Structure 1
Amino acid sequence: MSTLNLSPPTNFTAIIEAQHCQLLRSSIVSSYPVLLVHFFFILISSKLLYLAVRRLYQPRIVADLVIALLIAKVRFLRESFGPDITMILQNFGHYCFTAYMFALGLEMDPLTVFESPGSDTIIGYVSMLSTVVVGALFSSVLVESRNAKNAYGGEEQHADLLYLHSRLGLIAGLANTASPVLTRLTTELKISNTRVGRLAIGAGIHTDMVSSFLTSVGAMLLSSGYRKLKALSCLLGLIIEMALVVRVAKPIMDWISERNPEGKRVKGVDVAGVVVMILALCGVATKLHGDANMAVFLIGLVLPRQGRASRLLVNNINLLLSTVILPLYVCFVCLSLRNDGNVEGSSKSDYVIDTPLSWTKLSILSTAAAAGKVLGTLAAGRFQGLNWLESLALGLLLNIKGYYHVFFAYQATNSAMISDQLFVAILFTVLGTAMLTPLVGVTIAARSRRRAKRQLMGLQFLDPTSDVRIMTGLYAADNIPMTLNFIESVRWGSGPRGLTVYAIDMVEMTDRAAATLVKGDGQEVVTVGDESVVEFRKLVGEALVAYQQQDGNDGVKIQRLLAVSSFSDMHRDICSYAEDVLAVLIVLPFHKRQKLDGSMDLGHPGHRQVNQKVLQYAPCSVGILVDRGQGRVNKSSVSEATQNVVAIFIGGADDREALTLAARMSRHPGIELTVIRILPNAAARARASARMTAFASSEEEAQTRADDEYFTKFYERYVAEKAAGYVEKHVCDGAEIVKVLRSLESQYQLFIVGQGRSRNSVITDGLAEWAECPEIGPVGDILASSEFSVTASVLVVQQHDVRKRLKIIDEEFMPF
C-alpha cells in the first residue's frame, strides 16, 4: 500500500529563489524611472545641503546623514519610496560599501606599524588603548546579553560568544577614528600645518588602520560560526592570499605604473586589467572569509599605495564614493528594516530608525568615546611635550566618527549584535561628533592666529642683514617660467644671507581633489592624489630643482608648499603660510592671461577672488604679476636673461615698496633699471591747493615728506652711483599720465608700480573711476589692460599695512 508523500520537492527552495529573482527583476524594470527620480533626489539634496553647511566647516557626512534621517523619519518622504524602491536600495546597499573599504585600505601603508614610532603614532595607540579600557567598562551597559540569546534561542554557548563578540566590536568601533573625514576637515579648517593638526592626521590614520584591521579579523572569525577548524582554515587562507597579493598582484601594478609614465594617458587595457585583477582577488577573498567588506579592506591594505595604477584607482573610487555611493548608502542604512530576532526597545514600525532614541544610551556612548580619546591624548600628549589645551583639542579631534561607524552600526544590528536603540544612538553619535569637531578646529585656528606676530613685514622695513623670504603662488604650469624669472631677478639683491623662496601650489578644493586627499610625505601633511594635480606639481618640482642646480644659484633656497582649498577660502592658507615663514612679500599671478593675439582674456574669477582677499588680509607686502612674456626666455639659462625694467613712482607707501623691490632687482647684472618719477606741474599744484582742507593738507604733507626722504636716499645710493637711470615727468592730470605710460610701452619689458592704495595725488583723480580691476590700482589697471601692450609685463606692489585689515577694497568684488 503506497503512502502519500507530503514532503516538498527537493528543488522547492530553488523555485522560490528563482521566483524572488524574477520578482526583483520585474520590480527594477517597472520602478526604473521612479528609482532614478529618488536617487537624484537623494544626491542633489545632499549636495545642496553640503554646499550650505560647508560654510560652517561641516564635513560631507553631516549633510548625508541629515538628508537620510529626514527621509527615514518623515513619513510621507519614506512612503514615497514604496516597497519596490526600498527593496532595490536594500540590495544595492549590501555591496556598495565594499568600494569604501577597499579605497580605505589602499590609502594606508601597513609597513608604518613596524617603523620607529613617532609622536603621532604614540598618541594614536595610547588613545586607542585608553578608549578600549573605557569602552570595556561601559560596553556591558550598552550591549544587552538578551539580544544574543534571542538570536540563538537556547544555544547558550553560541549566545555567549556572540555577546562577547558584540562587546568587542563596540569597543573597536569606539576606538576607531574616521581618518578620511578628519583629514578633509583639518585641511578645510586650515589647521593641517599646525602642530595639533599634523599630530591629528597622523594619529587618526594609525588608529583607523589598526582598528579596521582588527575588526576585519573579528568579522572573519564571526563568519566561521566559531568553529575552530573553519576559523583556522580562514586564517590560513588569509595568510596565503595576502602572500599571493604581495608576490603577484603588487609586481603587476608596479609594472603597469612603469608602462604608463606621468604626463601620458593611462592605457585603457591596463585600467581594465587592474580592475579585473582586483575584482578577482576580492571575489576569492569573499569566498574565503565570508564578509566582503572586510575582505576587500585587507586586499587594499596589502596592495602598493604608491604608483600611478594605485593612485588612479583611489582617485576614481573616492570621487564615485563621495558623490554617489556614500549618500545612497547612508540613506539605505537609515531605511533598513527591523531584524525579527532583535525586538528589544523597538516600536511597532518595520523600520529600525523609528525606534525611540534612548538618551541614556546616547549619553553613555558619547561620553565613553570622548572620555577614552581625551584621557589617552592627555597622557600621551603631555609626555610628548604638548600643553593641556593642545592635548584636549587633539583628543576631541581624534574622537570624530564617520562612514565606517555608520557601516558598523548597520552590520551589528543586522547580525543581532546590538539593539535597535543602540543602533539609533550610534547614528546620532556620528552626527554629533561630525558637527561638533569643527568647533574644536576653529578654536585651534583662532588660537594659532592670535599667537602670530603682528609687525610690519615688507621689503622697505627689512633689515639689510636679514635673509629675504618671498612666497610665490602658482595656479598652473603656465606660471612656472614667470616664477623662475622673478626668482632670478630678485636673488642678486637678497643680501648676505641669501634668498628663501616658498613656492606654494594653489589647488582648488573640487569634489575630485577632496576625494583624493591623503596623508603626505615629508613636510607636507596632506597631498592630493588627483592625476592632473600630481602632474602639475611634478612639473613645478622638476623646474625648481633644475633651476637650483644651475651654476651660481647656491644662495637660493626653495621650499614647496601646498594650499588645497576653495577659492573663497584659499587666502587663509596663503596668509597662514606667510605668517608661519615670516615672508616679507607674496607674489601671485594676475587672474588674466595673455591670449595668442596678445590681448588679455577675461580671467579666472576664482583666481581674482584669491588675489583680492590676499591683498586684503596678507601679513606682508603683496605683488600681483601680469605676465606678458616675463617668463618666456628663449635662452638656455634664466640667469642669462636681460631686461629693461622701469619703476613708476608717483607717491605713497605702495610706490615706496615697489621702488624698494626694483632697487633690489637692479643689482642683477642682466637688469637695467630706470626710475620715472611723475610729479604734478604748476596747474596741478594750483588745483590741489584750491581743494585742500586742513586735515587733507596735513595728510598729504606727511606723505610728500616721506616720499621725498625716501627718494633722496634712493637717488644717492642708486642714481648717483649710475646703478639706475632717472627721469622726471611733470603732468597735469590722469590723461597725461596715460600718455606718459603709452610712450614707454615699447622700451621696457617690465613695469613696476605701486598699487596706490594710500596715494592722495591730484594727478591721479578720475583714473580709479574707469578701472576694470580696482584691486591693482588705477595705474596698474592701465598697464594691465589689453590696449596698453602685448610685450610688457607688469608687477603691482602693495606695501604691508596692519590697518588694511579693517578696510575693504571694493564691495562689488569682495563678497565676504
Structure 2
Amino acid sequence: MDTALLANATIAQEQRCGLQRSSVSSSYALFLMHIGSIFLACKLLHMVLRRLYQPRIVSDLIVALMIGKVPSLRLTFGLPVSIFVNHWDQYYFAAYMFALGLEMDPFTVFLSPTTDIIISYGGLVSTAAMIGLLYLILLHLDLGIKSKLPAIPLAFIGAFASTSSPVLTRVITELKISKTAVGRLAVDAGLHADMVATFLTSIGIMLYGHRSKQIVWRLIGLISLMGVIAVTVRPVLIWINKRNPEGRRMRGADMAGVAAMACALCVVAVRLHGDVNMAVFLVGLALPREGRVSRLLINNINYVLSTAVLPLYLCYVCIALRFHAPEAGDNSNSDYIMDSPISWEKLVVVSILGALGKVLGTFVAGRFRGLNWLESLALGVLLNMKGYYHIYCAFQAVSGRMISDGLFVALFYVVFETVTLTPAAGFAIATWARRGVERRMMMGLQFVSPTSELRIVMGLHGVENIPMAVKFIEAMRPEMGPEDLVVYAVDMVEMTERAAATLVKGEGPDAVTVGDEAIAAMRKEIGEALIAYQQENGDGLKIRRLLAVSSFSDMHKDICSCATDVGAVVIVLPFHKKQKMDGSMDNGHSGFRQVNQKVLQHAPCSVGILVNRELGRVNRFSVSEATQNVAVIFIGGADDREALTLGARMSQHPGIRLTVIRFLPDDAAHARASARTKRGHSILATASEEELQMQADDQYFAEFYQQYVANKKVGYMEKHVTDGAELVLALRPLEGQYQLFVVGRGGDRSSLITNGLIEWAECPEIGPVGDVIASTEFSKTASVLIIQQHDIRKRFKVIDDEFMPL
C-alpha cells in the first residue's frame, strides 16, 4: 500500500513539474512571439515607407508610438519589452556610441578647414549662439527645464547642434543624391558635426553633478587613456589587419582578442568618465577608423542595432512611466509618459530653436564658401536631421530630472518631425536642382561628333563582368585622334538590410559607400582590375568608379541619375543571364532583369544590353593582339542606326574587323505589304510611318556606305528575306563567323521581316532579333550587344516632330 501511495505521489509530482515546465516554455514562446511581432511590424512598415524615401527610424518610431499610445497594444507588448530592456537600458546605446566614434576621424579637427568642415562649424556656432543668448529666456518661459546647473546649456548645445549622421547617410542614399556636390558635402559635414557635438555632450554629462576637482582628474585620466590608445592600441590593430588580408576569412582568435581589448578599454573609460555611453564613444574615437578590423566591428554592430536593439529601445521609451507629477492643465489619468498632453507652445519653440540655428548657420557658411542659395538651403535642411541618439539624450535628461515629461514629449515629436519631413524637403530641392541638368538633350551616339569626348556609364554586377567591361571599353577606343573616352564604372549593389546597416562615408565622387566585407572585397577586386587595365592601355582613357546601392525596384534611378549627372551618351548594362559551364544560359537574376527593363524605359540617353559569352574570355585585357570579328545587323529604325554608329566607332580599332549585314524585304514581302495596305486606314498609317523610317535609314546608310564600305574599312553583306522565319534561317549560318553581334532593339520598328518574332521572344526587352541571337539555340560562343537609341520624344511627350522643342 505504501508503495502504491509513493508511486502516486511521484506521478503527481512529475505532473506538477511537467505543468511548470510547460508554463515556462509557453511563457518563453509568448515572449519570443511578442518580440518577433515588433521586428516584423517594423520591417513590413519600412518596406512600405521606403517608397516615400523614409529611413528605417520612421517605421520604428511609428510602431513604438502605436505600442505606447494604444492601451491594448501597450498591455500586450509592454511586459516583454520591459523585461528585455529594463535592466540594460543604460547599456543599450553603448554599442551604438562605440560604433559612432569608430566611424569618425578626430584628426580632421586639426586639419586646415575645408568646405564641409566650415559648413559643419557654421551650424554648430549658430546653434550655440542661439541657445546661449536665449537660455535665460527659456528658463523664464517655463519650457520644462528643471535643472539650472551650468552644464545643462552645454548638453543642450550638443544635442541640438548634432546631426544624426547614420540616418542622414541612409536618407542621402535613398534620395539618389550621394553623387552630387550637395550630397557629398552633407555626408562629410554631418559626420564632422556629429563628432564635435557628441563630444560636447560628453563633456556636459561629465560636468553634471561633479565637483571641480573630480572633473579635472577625470579629464586628465581620459586624455591619458586616449593617448595610450593612440600609442599602443593603434599599432596592434594595424598588425592584426596585416595578419588578416582582404579576401581571407577573419581569424576568430584575432577578432575575439580585439573585442576583449575594446571591452577592457571601455571599462577603464567608464571608471574615468562616469557615463558608460559617452566613455565608449571616446574609446571608439581614439581607435583607428581605417582597416578591416574596424570595418567589421562597425558593420556587425550597426546591423544588430538597426534590426534588433534600437526598435525595442524606442518601444521601451514609449511605454516608460512618468518621472514627474502631472503639470498644470494635465487632466490625463495615465501614468505613462507618452500620454502626457502635447504642449504646442513647447513643440513650436523647440522646433524653431533646433532648426533655425542649424539652417541659418549652415546657410551663411555655404554662401560664404561660394555655394548658391539653393545648395546652401538644402545643406541646412539635411544637416538638421535628428535620430536615435537625440531620443536617447532626451530620455536620459527626463529620467535624470533635468527636463519635464512635457518637454521630453515635445523633443520626441521634434525628432519624428525632422526624420519624416527632411527626406521630403531634400527630395524636392534635389529635383529642382536637377531640372536644369535634365533640360540637356542627351540623345545617342548618332548625334555626337566623332571628335568629341565620349562618356559611357558601364554597369557591373560583380567580378564576373570585368572581362566583359574591359573588352567593350577597349573596343570603343579609337586607333588615333584627340578624342577622349570617359567610362563611369558603376557597381550595382542591392540594398539589403545588412548593406543598409553598413553604409559609411565614402571617398571620391561617392559620398556614401557600403562597408560590408563581401561587397567591399568585390569592389576592391573590380577596382584593381580596372586600374591595371588603365595603366596598361591608358592613353586617351579615363575610368571613374561609382556605386549604385539600392533595391532592385529603384536601382534604375541610380543608373539614370549617374548618366544625367555625368552627361553620358550611352549606358551599357550586363544581361541578367549568365553563361554556364556547358555553354547554355542560366535562368538569370530577376532583379537585374527588372533593372534593365526600367533603364530601357527611363534612361536619358542610349542604352546597351550586353549578353556576354566568349567576349569576356580573353586572357589579356587588350584586344589589340587578337582580331575580333564583329557583325552589325541592320534592318531599319532608329535603334539600328544607333547600332550602326556604334559599329563605326568599333571599326576604327585595329583589332576589330567589322561587317555590316543588311536585311531587306524581298518581292514576296513587298507584295504582302501592298495587299495589307488596301485593307484599312490604320494599316496605311503604319505603312506611311515605315516609309518615313526607310527614308531615314536609306539616307543614313548611304552616308555610312560612302565613308566606310566604299573605302574598304568595313565589310558589307546584303540579304533579302520574306518574314521572321526566313530571317532566323538567314542568321543561323553566321553563328560561327563572328564573336560579337551588334543589333538594334527595334522598339520603334515595324518591319515586315520581323513580324511574328516578338510573340515567341523569351526576353522581349532585348527585341526580336536580339532575343534570337541571345538564345542558346542560336550560339554558345557569340556575344550580343543590343542597342536602344534614346527617343527625345518620350521625355517631352510630343506627338509630332513638328512640336519638338529643338
TM-score by length of 2: 0.92
1:69 paired to 2:65: yes
Q: Which residue of 1 aligns with 2:237?
A: 253
Q: Which residue of 2 aligns with 1:803?
A: 793
1:770 paired to 2:760: yes
Give identity over the alignment, percent. Answer: 61
- What pairs with 1:83-98 in structure 2 (closer than 5 Å)? 83=79, 85-98=81-94
1:113 alignment partner, SS class: helix
- What pairs with 1:252-401 in structure 2 (closer than 5 Å)? 252-339=236-323, 347-401=332-386
Pairing partner for 1:711 from 701, 714, 717: 701
- What pairs with 1:551-566 in structure 2 (closer than 5 Å)? 552-566=537-551
1:469 alignment partner, SS class: strand
TM superposition shift of 1:242: 0.5
How far apart are the structure 1 equivalents of 2:442 and 2:619? 38
Stretch deviating more after TM superposition (788-797 or 452-461): 452-461
How far apart are the structure 2 equivalents of 1:428 and 1:54? 20
Q: Which residue of 2 aligns with 1:233?
A: 217
How far apart are the structure 1 equivalents of 2:765 and 2:483? 33
1:125 paired to 2:110: no
TM superposition shift of 1:86: 2.0
Q: Which residue of 2 aligns with 1:436?
A: 421
Residues 1:265 and 1:641: Cα distance change in structure 2 (over 3 Å): farther
| One-letter amino acid matched to 2:34 | H
1:568 paired to 2:564: no
Q: Which residue of 2 aligns with 1:33?
A: 29
Query: Residue 344 of structure 1 contacts residue 419 of structure 1 at CA under 8 Å; is this kept in 2?
Result: no
Q: Deviations over 1:310-359 (max 9, x none)?
A: 00111111111111111111111112222358978765433211211111
How far apart are the structure 2 equivalents of 1:415 and 1:609? 52
- What pairs with 1:90-239 in structure 2 (closer than 5 Å)? 90-140=86-136, 160-161=148-149, 164-222=150-208, 225-239=209-223
Q: Which residue of 1 aligns with 2:228?
A: 244
TM superposition shift of 1:666: 1.4
How far apart are the structure 2 equivalents of 1:635 and 1:195? 37
Q: Deviations over 1:678-732 (max 9, x none)?
A: 1111000111122234422331121111111111111122222221211111111
How far apart are the structure 1 equivalents of 2:776 and 2:105? 52
TM-score by length of 1: 0.91
How many residues matched?
Answer: 769
1:523 paired to 2:509: yes
Query: Residue 147 of structure 1 contacts residue 344 of structure 1 at CA under 8 Å; is this kept in 2?
Result: no
| One-letter amino acid matched to 2:88 | F
How far apart are the structure 2 equivalents of 1:636 and 1:593? 20
Residues 1:38 and 1:336: Cα distance change in structure 2 (over 3 Å): same
TM superposition shift of 1:641: 3.2
How far apart are the structure 1 equivalents of 2:711 and 2:307? 64
Query: Residue 204 of structure 1 contacts residue 398 of structure 1 at CA under 8 Å; is this kept in 2?
Result: yes
Pairing partner for 1:680 from 661, 665, 679: 665
Query: Residue 471 of structure 2 contacts residue 622 of structure 2 at CA under 8 Å; is this kept in 1?
Result: no
Q: Which residue of 1 aligns with 2:722?
A: 732
Q: Which residue of 1 aligns with 2:11?
A: none
How far apart are the structure 1 equivalents of 2:595 and 2:634? 27
RMSD across aligned C-alpha pairs, in angstroms?
A: 2.2
Residues 1:316 and 1:149: Cα distance change in structure 2 (over 3 Å): closer
TM superposition shift of 1:84: 6.5
Query: Residue 234 of structure 1 contacts residue 288 of structure 1 at CA under 8 Å; is this kept in 2?
Result: yes
How far apart are the structure 1 equivalents of 2:234 and 2:390? 30
Query: Residue 365 of structure 1 contacts residue 429 of structure 1 at CA under 8 Å; is this kept in 2?
Result: yes
Pairing partner for 2:478 from 483, 492, 510: 492
| One-letter amino acid matched to 1:554 | D
| One-letter amino acid matched to 1:734 | G
2:301 alignment partner, SS class: helix
Q: Deviations over 1:791-812 (max 9, x none)?
A: 01000001111123489xxxxx
1:787 alignment partner, SS class: coil
How far apart are the structure 2 equivalents of 1:442 and 1:84? 38
Query: Residue 633 of structure 2 contacts residue 742 of structure 2 at CA under 8 Å; is this kept in 1?
Result: yes
How far apart are the structure 1 equivalents of 2:771 and 2:31? 54
Query: Residue 773 of structure 2 contacts residue 779 of structure 2 at CA under 8 Å; is this kept in 1?
Result: yes
Flag structure 1 segments of 5+ consecutive residues without an equivalent: 1-26, 151-158, 808-816
How far apart are the structure 2 equivalents of 1:294 and 1:51? 33
Q: Which residue of 1 aligns with 2:16?
A: none
Q: Deviations over 1:140-192 (max 9, x none)?
A: 46557999998xxxxxxxx642xx33333223211111111111111110112
1:630 alignment partner, SS class: helix
How far apart are the structure 2 equivalents of 1:236 and 1:167? 23
How far apart are the structure 2 equivalents of 1:305 and 1:342? 46
1:455 alignment partner, SS class: coil
How far apart are the structure 1 equivalents of 2:276 and 2:182? 36
Q: Deviations over 1:48-86 (max 9, x none)?
A: 111111100011111111110110111111111355752
Residues 1:323 and 1:786: Cα distance change in structure 2 (over 3 Å): same
Query: Residue 358 of structure 2 contacts residue 380 of structure 2 at CA under 8 Å; is this kept in 1?
Result: yes
Residues 1:518 and 1:418: Cα distance change in structure 2 (over 3 Å): same
How far apart are the structure 2 equivalents of 1:30 and 1:260? 45
Query: Residue 138 of structure 1 contacts residue 364 of structure 1 at CA under 8 Å; is this kept in 2?
Result: no
| One-letter amino acid matched to 2:95 | A
Q: Deviations over 1:375-404 (max 9, x none)?
A: 212221221222333322221111111011
Residues 1:786 and 1:180: Cα distance change in structure 2 (over 3 Å): same
Q: Which residue of 2 aligns with 1:468?
A: 454
| One-letter amino acid matched to 1:72 | G
TM superposition shift of 1:605: 1.2
2:624 alignment partner, SS class: helix
Residues 1:381 and 1:257: Cα distance change in structure 2 (over 3 Å): same
Q: Which residue of 2 aligns with 1:7?
A: none
Residues 1:618 and 1:146: Cα distance change in structure 2 (over 3 Å): closer
Flag structure 2 segments of 5+ consecutive residues without an equivalent: 1-22, 678-682, 798-806
1:647 paired to 2:632: yes
